[in-house]
Amino acid sequence: MQQLQLAKAVSPLALTHTAEEYGIGKTLKNPLTSFMLAITAGVFIAIGFTFYITVTIGSGASSYGLVKFIGGVAFSLGLMLVIITGAELFTSTVLTSVGYASKKIGTIDMLRTWTTVYLGNFVGALLFVALIFAGKVYMQAGGDWGVNAMKIAQHKLHHSFGEAVALGILCNMLVCLAVWLSFSCHSMLEKALIIILPVAMFVAAGFEHCVANMFMIPIGIAIQSFAGAEFWHVAGVNASQFADLNLYNFLVKNLIPVTLGNIIGGAVMIGFTYWFIHLRPLQKKQEEAEAQLAAEPAE
């Protein structure tokens, strides 16, 4: 009888080395390849948020926490698709900070990679906005789908700058920890399962994810600006109730501060922190050994 063998646990140090290699690999990709993979990631995260919008319709009388948890689990589909297909997501791409701290990634290469992926994510998210709007998904459930989408988007515009940065930091700590946990997995099923709770937690808690918002707020703006009279009649609401859904508020009150927060949460709070804990001591020993060797007189 064949015995089942449990996979050996991966050490925290090994995970940090994996994160370092993960970031280096991102900077070595052809920019066009990175951009195309980033477009797919933008679509996948939008798919996750579409799932969230749909399962939270009509939840007014339900338990707040339970509804948020179910929505968070639904949203985790987006990150599952990103990880399993190898798509490029900005919020996990900032983990290139580990390789940067180890001086294996240059500043220009890191910033170029961040910019390429960020723009690709934006394109993918807006592409999915166009598809959702063209398919009139907002008309589902008697227009409640569209109203729910606008309410979610509207809520995201009412944080102060500092609040949005803080919520962005908290979000990307959880996203990057989910990706970090996936480094320990030995199968795609394990990767899919291990990310569910960190992702569900950040969504349920209302933390802010810049790529998700690249879809969520534009779909709200699109519905508020371009939905026909039929939608407003069926939904029983007025467009003036959502007048704050506009491009300026999207960029200034949400996307910019949330992006800054996501960078701090992922690159600094996770990437730099674990580099400092696990890799900096090794790097320091190597530097000391090299300095000692250089100081020895040549024979």
Q: Where are the domains of the chain?
A: 12-280
Cite the DSSP H helix spans in the chain. Answer: 12-28, 31-55, 64-85, 90-93, 97-101, 107-134, 144-155, 161-182, 188-194, 196-204, 210-226, 229-235, 247-250, 256-263, 273-274, 280-295
For residue 159, the 8-state DSSP code is S
In this predicted structure, what is the pLDDT of residue 13?
94
- What SS3 class is residue 30? coil
What is the predicted pLDDT for the residue at 1?
37
State how far the Cα of 17 lies from the Cα of 11, in Å rounded to an integer.
Answer: 10
pLDDT of residue 283: 85
For residue 5, how many C-alpha atoms fall within 13 Å in the half-sphere facing its CB? 4
Q: Biggest alpha carbon distance in the chain?
A: 91
Q: Which CATH number fits domain 12-280: 1.10.40.50, 3.40.50.300, 1.20.1080.10, 1.10.10.60?
A: 1.20.1080.10
Quote the distance between the C-alpha of residue 68 and its chain's center: 18
Residue 86's Cα: distance from chain center in Å?
14
> What pLDDT, on a 0 to 100 scale, did the predictor assign at position 64?
86
Amino acid making up residue 2: Q
Cβ atoms of 130 and 99 closer than 8 Å: no
Which residue from 164, 122, 136 is spatially nearest to 249, judged by alpha carbons? 164
- Predicted confidence at residue 292, as pLDDT, reads 76
Report the C-alpha gap between 46 and 76 in whole angstroms.
11
For 186, other C-beta atoms within 10 Å of its C-beta total 11
Instruction: Report whether 124 contacts 293 (CB < 8 A).
Output: no
Average pLDDT, consecutive stretches of 10 residues, N- to C-terminus, the chain (299 residues): 55 95 97 98 98 89 86 97 97 98 97 98 98 97 97 97 98 98 95 97 97 98 96 94 97 98 98 96 79 69
Q: What's the pLDDT score for residue 225?
A: 96
The tokens describing 39, both together, are 């477009």
pLDDT score, position 175: 98
- Quote the pLDDT of residue 189: 95
The Cα–Cα gap between 95 and 25 comes to 11
Question: What six digits make up the tokens of 4?
Answer: 């089942």
| Tokens (6 digits) for 90 | 């900005």
- Going by the DSSP 8-state scheme, the letter that residue 225 receives in this structure is H
